[in-house]
Amino acid sequence: MKNKFLPKKFFITTGKGQSDTSEMNAFDNALIKAGIGQCNLVKVSSILPKNCEEIPPVKIEPGTITFVVLSRSNGKKGEKISAGIGYAIMKNERGYGIVAEDCNNRSEEKAREEIQKKLREMASSRKMEIERIRIETETLEIDSEFGCVIAALVYLF
């Protein structure tokens, strides 16, 4: 049976946004900066299908139902926030990948370390060996009343 919901491609994007109005507006601004503010996002968990190809970010038609693994961090004026997402491709014949996210009030370096730790544990739990890892992060020192950073792995069909 052919699986209509098996992504063939994906991309990673990040964004940050601020607002003096609300947390929701800061989130919306972060999505716009990331290039996915016009999409209807559906959060999914953390498996990359075998042979799913990473491509550069592309424009998606407004209103498209879009599946994402999303990392999001919100904060208030004066805070520093971060969000990151990473994936690991496995060495063995199963060949699929795993995705981990991190969001917190920590440095970019700490976020990267946390994502690597999460990916290594996910691989270990599956008795799989990692071939390669890729991580992207976004940080923000908030000047406005509200701030938001996001990192997303966006699936394409």
pTM: 0.95
The number of folded domains in the chain is 1
pLDDT of residue 93 exceeding 80, the answer is no
Strand order in the sheet with 65-76: 40-43, 65-76, 146-156, 9-19, 53-54
pLDDT of residue 75 exceeding 80, the answer is yes
Q: Across residues 98-127, what is the average pLDDT?
A: 94
**17 inside domain:** no
Question: Containing domain of residue 50, as a range?
Answer: 23-156
**1 inside domain:** no
**5 inside domain:** no
Taking the C-alpha atoms of residue 46 and residue 42, their distance in angstroms, rounded to an integer, is 13
> For residue 153, what are the β-bridge partners?
12, 69
Q: Where are the beta strands (DSSP E) in 55-120?
A: 65-76, 80-90, 97-104
CATH number reported for the structural domain that contains residue 40 in this entry = 3.50.20.10
**2 inside domain:** no
pLDDT tens digits for range 121-149: 999 999 999 999 999 999 999 999 999 99
Q: Across residues 66-74, what is the average pLDDT?
A: 98
| Structural element, H or E, at residue 29 | helix 23-34
